[in-house]
């Protein structure tokens, strides 16, 4: 009996290694088989090597191997699972904008036999791009196809998207469904998210739930996380106490991430600096003990950036593995790239500023700009979880909401050549929406209550800066309608004698979409619907071709 040639033997052994999840061994064997075969190597071996590399966490090399596999097929049909694998590698490298069209190709190629998991993965990618309406549709498709076999993670993903769409009542139901389906294996942070959704539905109900279910143990980690998560919006002393207690128990990456997210909302000044420095020390300690999925590495980079320790950030990023930076990879890479520029900080680079008040379509505008390829911050910088600040303008492309509104005149003169997009809305509809928003998120009941609480200490997250912004835009006026009218006059008066090519007024709620925005920006209309987020369900549909509303 003649023995199989060396390449075929290596391929057989590689397939066996994959069955046993021995990914490093499998990758080496596939590489050996390919090298032995030379130019005539089977394209499938490149794809199998790519899968092995991906499962070994080597996504950059996996992407190269998928590219090699597809290139060797030439004009022949590309297997759907290879396209999906390439999208997976792109996702894992934080390149969601490239992963989405690649996975769409895979889904279209697979036809009726499409794997439901691909819809769920596409939903996560779209969510990370802030295209939450499309993400919800993809999660719905995944869950419909999988039925009762759908994993709880997909239901939790749908809840996450509903949270982002500010539909907390629906999110609350999905968080509960995910927890029930997972049973004892349910992730602890799902319970945290469920409490946050309950808090968004009713502050009082959330606090009553916490009081009712409290075990009175100040060392109970789950309760500390819940208290920190719930109270950091408006009960600062209790949130800080929970932070300190949780910091003393910081022995895993997830706790470090929760604490990192909590610093900016509850601390100011020297206290904030001390909290950030304490977390940097914890990150170093946890990193020295081993960081399996890169989460500690990401938090350390976020903390150094929040401290504006740019030299420390640059060194830490240079030493980091890009494949382990997760969903924040693109933003972290942008920071590192900006810091390497000889002219940093550079105010000559044109920016985009969304200067509409909250609840005028700022979320939709931010998602649209992100979909067009502009790195966009909406209200907060997710790396620091802090309100958009002066330093942030040098790292990203576009910015929107009240931190921008409060001093748009200074931004006009600081960043010459930048463009300003003024989202507007019917004043009566805006007043109803902002009133409901403040009741739901801030426990504020009417303008008088807002003005009173803005004068008090420790009433809202982000401390004095939040109070200064909201006092300027809302509190220091007779009522909310007066605030709206005063700001509207301020914008129009400022831009009445400015170059028309630097100012666009857009009304998302009345149907403005891709057409006007893309003409203003000088870019092509994308083949996706304009994102209409945080809006009533009965919106008219958008035509991707025209970019405007169709009835």
Report yes or no: 118 and 110 within 8 Å, Cβ to Cβ: yes
Q: Which residue has the tokens 């191997």?
A: 65
Q: Are residues 290 and 394 in the same domain?
A: no
Domain stops at, among 340, 362, 393: 340
3-state SS track over 174-187 = HHHHHHHHHHHHCC
Residue 358 CB: number of other CB atoms within 10 A?
Answer: 21
Q: Which range has highest mean pLDDT (320-324, 369-373, 476-480)?
A: 476-480
Residue 154 has pLDDT above 90, yes or no: yes
Residue 273 has pLDDT above 90, yes or no: yes
CA 484 to chain centre: 29
Q: Give the 3-state secondary structure of residue 84.
A: helix
Q: Are residues 436 and 366 in the same domain?
A: yes
Cis peptide before 345 (omega within 30 of 0): yes
pTM listed for this prediction: 0.73
How does DSSP assign 370-384, residue by residue?
A: HHTT--EEESEETTT
pLDDT at position 537, please? 41
Residue 184 has pLDDT above 90, yes or no: no
Task: Give residues with Cβ within 8 angstroms of 247, minimum separation 6.
Answer: 259, 278, 279, 282
Helices (H), 43-167: 43-55, 59-73, 80-92, 96-110, 116-128, 132-146, 152-164
Calculate mean pLDDT across residues 280-301: 87
* Confidence band, pLDDT 50/70/90 cuts, at residue 536: very low
pLDDT at position 4, please? 47
Q: CATH number for the domain including 96?
A: 1.25.40.10
* Confidence band, pLDDT 50/70/90 cuts, at residue 530: confident
Calculate mean pLDDT across residues 422-431: 96
Lowest mean pLDDT among 132-146, 203-217, 227-241, 521-535: 203-217
Residue 10 has pLDDT above 90, yes or no: no
Q: CATH number for the domain including 163?
A: 1.25.40
Q: Are residues 408 and 530 in the same domain?
A: yes
% pLDDT > 90, the chain: 62
Q: Are residues 333 and 364 in the same domain?
A: no
Q: CATH number for the domain including 509?
A: 3.40.50.300
Distance (Å, rounded) from C-alpha 210 to C-alpha 68? 54
3-state SS track over 202-257 = CHHHHHHHHHHHCCCCCCCHHHHHHHHHHHCCCCHHHHHHHHHHHHCCCCCHHHHH
Q: Are residues 323 and 441 in the same domain?
A: no
Calculate mean pLDDT across residues 278-288: 93
Q: Are residues 292 and 419 in the same domain?
A: no
Lowest mean pLDDT among 81-85, 438-442, 503-507: 438-442
Report yes or no: 271 and 263 within 8 Å, Cβ to Cβ: no
Q: Return the bridge partners of 377, or none.
A: 399
Residue 424 CB: number of other CB atoms within 10 A?
Answer: 20
Q: Which of 464, 465, 460 is nearest to 449 (CA)?
A: 460
286 burial type by CB count under 10 A (0-12 exposed, 13-18 middle, 19+ buried): buried
Q: Are residues 393 and 335 in the same domain?
A: no
Lowest mean pLDDT among 13-22, 200-209, 451-460, 479-488: 200-209
> Is 140 part of a structural domain of the chain?
no
Report yes or no: 523 and 485 within 8 Å, Cβ to Cβ: no
% pLDDT > 70, the chain: 90
Look up the domain containing 46 and give its range: 6-119
Residue 176 CB: number of other CB atoms within 10 A?
Answer: 17
Domain stops at, among 310, 340, 370: 340
- 292-314: per-residue pLDDT in tens? 568 899 999 999 999 999 999 99
Distance (Å, rounded) from C-alpha 523 to C-alpha 515? 10
Phi, psi (degrees; rounded to nearest 5) at 512: -60, 140
> Is 228 part of a structural domain of the chain?
yes
* Confidence band, pLDDT 50/70/90 cuts, at residue 220: low
> Is 104 part of a structural domain of the chain?
yes
Contacts 24+ apart (CB under 8 A), 137-146: 141/116, 142/116, 142/117, 145/114, 145/116, 145/119, 146/116
> Is 318 part of a structural domain of the chain?
yes
Domain stops at, among 340, 362, 396: 340
97 vs 482: which has the higher pLDDT: 482
Spell 218-254 as b/e; 16+ CB within 10 A means b.
Answer: eeeeebbbbbbbbbbbbbbebbbbbbebbbeebeebe
Q: Give the 3-state secondary structure of residue 4.
A: coil
How does DSSP assign 479-535, residue by residue?
A: SHHHHHHHHHHHHHHHHTTS-GGGEEEE-GGGT--HHHHHHHHT-PPPSSPPP--S-
pLDDT at position 545, please? 30
Residue 387, CA distances (Å) to 13, 263, 289, 543, 551 in order: 54, 12, 32, 34, 37
**What count of Cα atoms within 13 Å lies in the side-chain half-sphere of residue 318?**
8
**What count of Cα atoms within 13 Å lies in the side-chain half-sphere of residue 165?**
26
> Is 347 part of a structural domain of the chain?
no
Q: Are residues 230 and 156 in the same domain?
A: yes
* Confidence band, pLDDT 50/70/90 cuts, at residue 216: low
The tally of domains found in the chain comes to 3
> Is 138 part of a structural domain of the chain?
no
Task: Give residues with Cβ within 8 angstroms of 336, minimum separation 6.
Answer: 313, 314, 317, 318
Calculate mean pLDDT across residues 150-167: 91
Contacts 24+ apart (CB under 8 A), 154-159: 154/120, 154/123, 155/181, 156/187, 156/190, 156/193, 157/120, 157/123, 157/124, 157/127, 158/123, 159/190, 159/193, 159/197
Distance (Å, rounded) from C-alpha 223 to C-alpha 220? 6
Q: Are residues 375 and 321 in the same domain?
A: no
Residue 181, CA distances (Å) to 143, 150, 185, 240, 313 in order: 13, 9, 9, 33, 41
Q: Which residue has the tokens 């036809």?
A: 111
Classify strands 380-381 and 386-387 as parallel, antiparallel or unpaired.
antiparallel
- 446-458: per-residue pLDDT in tens? 999 999 999 988 8
pLDDT at position 550, please? 24
Q: Are residues 319 and 427 in the same domain?
A: no
Report yes or no: 360 and 526 within 8 Å, Cβ to Cβ: no
275 vs 550: which has the higher pLDDT: 275
pLDDT at position 85, please? 95
Q: Are residues 114 and 155 in the same domain?
A: no
Q: Are residues 227 and 375 in the same domain?
A: no
> Is 129 part of a structural domain of the chain?
no
Q: What is the mean pLDDT of the chain?
A: 88
Residue 298, CA distances (Å) to 89, 278, 452, 464 in order: 19, 16, 39, 28
> Is 345 part of a structural domain of the chain?
no
3-state SS track over 142-189 = HHHHHHHHCCHHHHHHHHHHHHHCCCHHHHHHHHHHHHHHHHHHCCHH
Report yes or no: 40 and 18 within 8 Å, Cβ to Cβ: no
Structure tokens at 274: 């001390």
pLDDT at position 198, please? 78
- 345-359: per-residue pLDDT in tens? 999 999 999 999 999
* CA dihedral of 464, 465, 466, 470, whole degrees rounded to 10: 100
Calculate mean pLDDT across residues 138-142: 96
**DSSP state, residue 472:** I
- 39-80: per-residue pLDDT in tens? 788 999 999 999 999 999 899 999 999 999 999 998 788 999
Distance (Å, rounded) from C-alpha 128 to C-alpha 8? 41
Distance (Å, rounded) from C-alpha 389 to C-alpha 383? 12
């Amino acid at each position: 009996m003649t023995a199989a040639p060396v390449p075929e033997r290596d391929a057989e052994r590689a397939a066996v290694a994959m069955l046993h999840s021995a990914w490093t061994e499998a990758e080496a064997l596939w590489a050996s088989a390919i090298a032995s075969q030379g130019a005539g190597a089977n394209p499938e071996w490149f794809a199998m090597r790519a899968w092995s590399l991906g499962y070994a966490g080597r996504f950059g090399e996996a992407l190269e191997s998928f590219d090699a596999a597809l290139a060797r097929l030439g004009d022949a049909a590309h297997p759907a699972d290879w396209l999906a694998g390439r999208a997976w590698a792109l996702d894992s490298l934080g390149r969601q904008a490239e992963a989405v069209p690649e996975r769409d190709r895979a889904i279209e190629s697979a036809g009726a036999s499409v794997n439901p998991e691909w819809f769920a993965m596409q939903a996560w990618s779209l969510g990370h791009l802030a295209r939450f309406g499309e993400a919800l549709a993809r999660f719905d498709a995944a869950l419909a196809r999988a039925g009762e076999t759908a994993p709880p993670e997909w239901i939790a993903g749908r809840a996450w998207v509903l949270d982002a769409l500010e539909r907390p009542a629906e999110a609350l139901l999905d968080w509960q469904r995910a927890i029930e389906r997972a049973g004892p294996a349910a992730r602890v942070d799902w319970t945290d998210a469920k409490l946050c959704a309950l808090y968004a539905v009713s502050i009082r109900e959330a606090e009553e739930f916490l009081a009712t279910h409290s075990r009175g143990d100040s060392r109970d980690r789950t309760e500390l996380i819940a208290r920190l998560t719930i109270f950091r919006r408006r009960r600062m002393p209790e949130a800080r106490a929970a932070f300190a207690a949780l910091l003393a128990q910081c022995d895993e990456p997830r706790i470090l991430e929760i604490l990192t997210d909590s610093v900016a909302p509850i601390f100011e000044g020297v206290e904030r600096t001390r909290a950030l420095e304490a977390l940097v020390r914890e990150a170093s300690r946890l990193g020295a003990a081993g960081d399996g999925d890169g989460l500690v590495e990401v938090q350390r980079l976020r903390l150094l950036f929040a401290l504006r320790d740019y030299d420390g950030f640059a060194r830490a990023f240079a030493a980091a593995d890009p494949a382990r930076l997760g969903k924040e990879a693109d933003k972290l890479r942008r920071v590192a790239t900006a810091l390497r520029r000889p002219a940093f900080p550079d105010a000559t680079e044109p920016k985009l500023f969304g200067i509409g008040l909250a609840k005028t379509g700022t979320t939709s505008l931010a998602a649209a700009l992100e979909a067009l390829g502009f790195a966009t911050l909406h209200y907060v910088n997710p790396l620091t979880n802090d309100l958009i600040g002066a330093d942030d303008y040098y790292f990203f492309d576009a910015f929107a909401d009240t931190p921008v509104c409060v001093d748009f005149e200074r931004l006009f003169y600081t960043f010459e050549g930048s463009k300003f997009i003024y989202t507007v809305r019917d004043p009566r509809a805006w007043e109803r929406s902002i009133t409901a928003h403040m009741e739901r998120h801030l426990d504020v009941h009417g303008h008088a209550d807002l003005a009173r609480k803005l004068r008090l200490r420790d009433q809202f997250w982000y401390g004095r800066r939040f109070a200064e912004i909201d006092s300027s835009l809302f509190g220091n006026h007779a009522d909310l309608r007066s605030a709206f009218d005063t700001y509207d006059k301020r914008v129009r008066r400022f831009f009445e004698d400015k170059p028309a090519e630097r100012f666009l007024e857009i009304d998302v709620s009345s149907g403005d979409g891709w057409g006007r925005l893309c003409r203003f920006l000088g870019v092509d209309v994308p083949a996706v619907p304009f994102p209409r987020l945080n809006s009533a369900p009965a919106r008219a549909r958008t035509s991707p071709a025209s970019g405007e509303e169709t009835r």
